[in-house]
Structures are given as C-alpha cells and as structure tokens.
Amino acid sequence: MGRNADYSTIIEDAYKRGYDYLEKWKACAPTVFAAVMDAIGYKDSRMAEEVWKATVGLTGGTGNMAIGTCGALAGAAAAIGLSFGFTKDDIEKDVVKMLKLNASVAEVGEMMMKKYGGIHCQDVQFHHWGKAYRFTNPNALLEFIGMSPGKPATPECQQVTADLAKWTVEKIIERNPDFIVLDQ
C-alpha cells in the first residue's frame, strides 16, 4: 500500500475484528492473530491459517495456565514476526534482524503494560477484576465464565484483544507496510 497510504480503515477493521473474534473462539492468541491477518489482507491465506493453528495453545497465559504472557500479546507477536518474513538462514546470518523484530513486539508489550498493568494473563486479570483465575482449575474457570452470563466472552477481554490487534497493525504499518496486501 505504500508508506503514505491512509491506513485508518485497516486499523479500525483490526480493532473491530479483535473485539468480535473473541466471541467466536474464546481464545486471545488466535483472536489477535486472525484479526490482524484478516485486516491486512491475509484472510484467505493458507500460510496465515497454519500459523493460526499454532497460536491456539498460547491462549490463557499459555495453555490456560494464566501465568504466562497474555495470549493477546502472543498472537500479536506471531503476527509481527510473520510480517518480518525472516527465515532461519536470515537469523543465522544476522541476529540483529531478530532483535529488530523483537523490539517491535516489545513496543506493543509496552503499550499493553501501560494500559493493562502488565503483559501476563494474571496481570491483565488483576487489572480488570482485582484477582486472577488459573483456567486449568475447573472451579476457577467456571467462576470466570460466570462473569459473563449469556455472553461468549467478557467485554474486558474483548477490549484487550481489540487493542492488541489495533496496536499490532499499527506496528506492522510502521515497520513493514509492504506486508499489507493491496486491494482489500
């Protein structure tokens, strides 16, 4: 699309998808990854579909343990990483490439820390509810699910996935605008 294009529609689309997709999958990592990929033109990409599958286990602070990185940031990291397009050989020949990629992920993480008090699933939970839930504990999971009766996801978590999808698209626009597919 070029560096001078108006990306506001893509950014808004990523935000909306980040909010809406959580209702479909109830999983932060694949939600953010898909919201970003779909908004920037990879909705029907087999490659993006395969990476999406790998993000499912990163949900709920990794494996629903809630003690790891929030799945929303993990999905963002996957999308940013894919946008750089580095191969194993690229990294072996020049490790600085990986450092640039990781700096982009860290910048999104900093935004998350500023708004949500941290990057771990438990940090985000404490920010929203003053306590955390270990989703591998059936009673804790039932209590968490009970906070949004009749809804497939909590609005608080939807806000997190929406923000992370938006911030990720903004970072891709800043660092890798050529990754965005034309003719959306």
Q: What confidence score (pLDDT) does residue 5 get?
A: 65
Q: Which of 57, 98, 97, 49 is nearest to 74 (CA)?
A: 57
Among the ranges given (1-10, 23-32, 33-42, 83-92), the one the predictor scored with the smallest mean pLDDT:
1-10
Note the pLDDT tens digit of each residue in 118-157.
999 999 999 999 999 999 999 998 999 888 877 778 999 9
Cα separation, 112 vs 127, whole angstroms: 11
Query: What residue ranges do the domains of the chain occupy?
Result: 8-178
Whether 157 and 28 have beta carbons less than 8 Å apart is answered as: yes
Note the pLDDT tens digit of each residue in 56-114.
999 999 999 999 999 999 999 999 999 999 999 999 999 999 999 999 999 999 999 99
